Structure 1
Amino acid sequence: MAEHGENVPAYRTIRVAGPEGPVEAVADAAAWQARAAYPDILSAGGPLFGVVREREAGGWELIVPFSGSAPQDARDSMGAQFRMLAQRCERDGDTDARQECLRAAERTEWETDDEMTVLGTRYRVARAECFLRSGPEGPEPPRPTDPDPMEPGEAYRAPDPSAGFVFDPVIATGMSAGILKVELLSLVPKSGTVPGAMRDDALAAALTHPGGVLLPAAFMTAEKIHGHWRPNSVANHTTPQSARDSLAMALRVKIPWKRGLGPRERAPYSAAADRFDAERGDELTVAGGHFRVVRVERLVRIGPEGPEGPRPSDLDPQPPVMVQHQQDVERGLIPADGGPDGEDDPVELDPSTRRLAALVGEEEARRERLRAGRRSPEPDGDAT
């Protein structure tokens, strides 16, 4: 039966309002301009997973960012949340509550539950779909209105703009965000473009979770290969600089390691990373490779019971940690009794791993020198 007027559930509404201030007005204008320059909406890779908690005041709150590329990543994080909650209960002297939290944490180590109730509060693994805008010149880079406060190499210190995000589809958005939400909610993979199970799950989600909420934008990097742009990182960077730092690290460490480059062959990549740090641009060409920082929109579908959880067709290759441990024991990879056999023996790294460790060590030393330089006081200009 069709729903009209006041009978429409809150999770199916999209409220649009004018910008609250000049900053919001500029951001809404930039979003509208992006529609013309980058008219196509494409998938930005697979979904990401985080952990949400039901609020006493209603709705759900994000407590673990959408950074996991598989549901098990978020389940592990949910277990860690329960252990931290157990520590708080211990400090408060609540032994029974502590035990309940620890039992819940241990359960996440053996079972694949995507929703659990602990101390009367529901926790859930939630799913976010990732999209990017694209046009004749390729995927959309960061916008001038996207917050980008940190220096090169320091982006990991920036606060996550989605921390504590409340999933409330009734909260009004700007005109451009409201239209984008409608567009993203209507997207379903075309037949033949993805495995049938994935398309079936997407069609089912459009019915079970017809509403949606847009998270703050995220960022990733992409590389142009044979004329086509391909993501080469996960869309879990919270600022443009975080994505730049990831690419700079790849140029200084990952690419030289994977390709077995010597000091002279590494030089062009290191120089390109230095330029990238100095210019803080969004594109980079080095040794025939063309890279770009890309802006990503993230949508969480909402239904009558809250944010959507993992779908049956989502890739979930790793079992819970204790199940994986048990499997390793059965394969003879580790001692069955967890005894001391080999525990105290030094770990012998293979040549490839030693080379990677050396490159990582060089990069850490370089960043520490930069930090030390920033901490050093400016010389007194009046000194003689």
Structure 2
Amino acid sequence: MADDWKRQIDRLHEGLVRRDDPTEWVTEADAVDASYRYPHLALRGPVFGLAAQDPETGAEWRLLRPATSGMPQEARDSLNSLLWFKAKDDTDDPAVRRELLAAVAVLEREPVDEMTVLGVRYRVVRGDEFARSGERGLEPPRPTDPEPADRSWEGRQETPSPDLGFALTPGKEDGVMAGAMKLALQGFSYSGSRFPAEVRRDSERALTSHPDIVLLPVGFGVVERRGRGWRPHGALMPTPHDARRLLFDGMAEFWPLLHEFSDRERTRHARAAETFKAAGRADEARVGDTLYRICRIERMLRSGPDGPEPPRPSDLDDEGPTKIHPTMDEDGTIRYDD
């Protein structure tokens, strides 16, 4: 297996040399530099998304919903909504609507991780989220990480998630350092007493059942440090600037309301937000003893002969299935009194 991975990395390197693309060389050099400055991996935990295999578009599994949910049920609920709105908006055929609504009814009752509806296979998929760390703490964005064309600080901006439509293909060409990362992660499993025994067993079992590694698109988030530990603060964002906007809006507007800041705390956060914004592409802000940092977040997903890994038996949910949308009849009539 190690020889196979070495041959794959050699092939990636040969391809990089053959293409002679300066942008790719700079990106690879950036990744090499990061591997020295941030040599350790800090595991945050599992994430869940929704993928589909549609025979009309090919054999590949592709993400339909970003792999950012903290629990499997959130992804199941996203499938519930996807199918319900398909029944509402995408068909006038009662038979088609009936099949869609039958699947919705199952999802309202049972924690189902896979189903086939109208010939399309849907699956809740499981990944792991981690960040690189070193003496300087968690890794910030790299110079070569893409930024949106419009880096405005005002108005409503929604950069599309790079997860949407992403092909979960283990063997695709990712670059030399990405290939090396896949090699490093191939044998990764949860270990240590902080993980329950059933979590460790499921993780070890996944090495055999889903041996291949898929690296998902890189994301960016806000992390907070008070004392020695870091903790995430908000959602995963698609670009560094989107994460900076999240931090700025949090300090200037949302956190004072959410946490009921005193006038003094409100003023300190507002001042820090303006200083952060004025710096343009800063990756840190400090308010008193609290350090905020824009952090580069990576995710991996395991895949096997039958596609991407679903949730494991030891993955936990706070809530179970429930009815999300009003009752719909096969003719499209929606009843709000049920």
In which range does the TM-score fall when normalised by the shorter chain? Answer: 0.7 to 0.9
Query: In the alignment, is the contact (CA less than 8 A) between 1:167 and 1:213 conserved in 2?
Result: yes
- Return closer, same or farther for 1:193/1:185 CA change in 2, 3 Å cut-off: farther
Residues 155 and 242 in structure 1, CA contact (< 8 A), matched pair in contact too: no
Alignment correspondent of 2:271: 271
* Farther off after superposition, 282-291 or 21-30: 21-30
The offset of 1:4, in angstroms, is 9.6
Quick check: 1:303 aligned with 2:308? no
Moved more, 250-259 or 63-72: 250-259
Query: In the aligned structure 2, how far is the partner of 1:89 from the partner of 1:201?
Result: 39
Q: CA deviation at 1:22?
A: 2.7
In the TM superposition, 1:224-263 aligns within 5 A as: 224-234=225-235, 236-257=236-257, 259-263=259-263
Write out per-residue CA displacement over residues 243-271 of structure 1, whole angstroms, 9 at most, x where no aligned residue: 22222233234542455324343111012
Stretch deviating more after TM superposition (51-60 or 246-255): 246-255
Aligned pair 1:26/2:26, yes or no?
A: yes
Pick closer, same or farther for the CA change 1:155–1:188 going to 2, 3 Å.
Answer: farther
- The offset of 1:16, in angstroms, is 2.7
1:270 maps to a residue whose letter is A
Q: 1:72 to 1:3 in 2, by over 3 A?
A: same
Q: Matched residues in 2 for 1:223 and 1:302: separation?
A: 32
Partners in 2 of 1:4 and 1:27 — Cα distance? 26
Query: How far does the alpha carbon of each residue in 1:27-63 deviate from its partner, in whole angstroms, 9 at most, with x for none?
Result: 12111110011111120x2211111001322120111
Give the alignment's TM-score, normalised by structure 2: 0.85
Q: Where does residue 332 of structure 2 map in the other structure?
A: none
Aligned to 2:211: 210
The residue correspondences of 1:303-322 to structure 2 (distance < 5 A) are: 303-322=304-323
One-letter code of the match for 2:202? D
| CA offset digits 1:277-336 (Å, max 9, x no partner) | 23231111112211111101111100111001111121211111239xxxxxxxxxxxxx
**Which residues of 2 match residues 85-234 of structure 1 at below 5 A?**
85-90=86-91, 93-149=92-148, 150-153=151-154, 156-234=157-235
| 8 Å CA contact 2:45, 2:130 repeated in 1 | no
The structure that is strand-richer by fraction is 2
CA displacement at 1:83 relative to structure 2: 2.1
Cα distance per residue 1:103-154 (max 9 Å; x no partner): 2123212211000100011000011211111111111000111112132356
Matched residue type, 1:33: D
Distance 1:124 1:132 in 2: 26
Instruction: Give yes or no for contact 1:155–1:245 (8 Å, CA) kept in 2.
Output: no
Percent identical: 37
Mark the CA change 1:315 to 1:151 in structure 2 (over 3 Å): closer, same or farther.
farther
CA distance in 2, matches of 1:293, 1:169: 29
2:49·2:124 contact (CA, 8 Å) conserved in 1? yes
Task: Give per-residue Cα distances to partners, 1:65-109, cap 9 Å, x unaligned.
Answer: 11211111111111111123224542xx43211211122123212
Contact 1:129 / 1:299 at 8 angstroms: preserved in 2?
A: yes
The CA deviation at 1:194 is: 1.5
Counterpart residue type for residue 297 of structure 1: E
Pick the structure with greater CA Rg.
1
Structure 1 runs (4+) greater than 4 angstroms displaced: 2-5, 153-156
Aligned counterpart, 1:50: 49
Structure 1: where are the runs of 5+ without partners?
324-337, 341-384
8 Å CA contact retained: 1:52, 1:60: yes
Q: Which amino acid aligns with 1:216?
A: P
Length-normalised TM-score, structure 1: 0.76
Question: Secondary structure at 1:169's aligned position in 2?
Answer: coil
**Aligned-residue RMSD, C-alpha:** 2.6
Q: Secondary structure at the match of 1:166?
A: coil
Aligned to 1:16: 12
1:89 and 1:97 in contact (8 A); partners too: no
Aligned amino acid, residue 66 of structure 2: P
Q: Are the aligned partners of 1:139 and 1:294 in contact in 2 as well (CA < 8 Å)?
A: yes
In structure 2, C-alpha distance between the alignment counterparts of 1:114 and 1:186, rounded to whole Å: 25
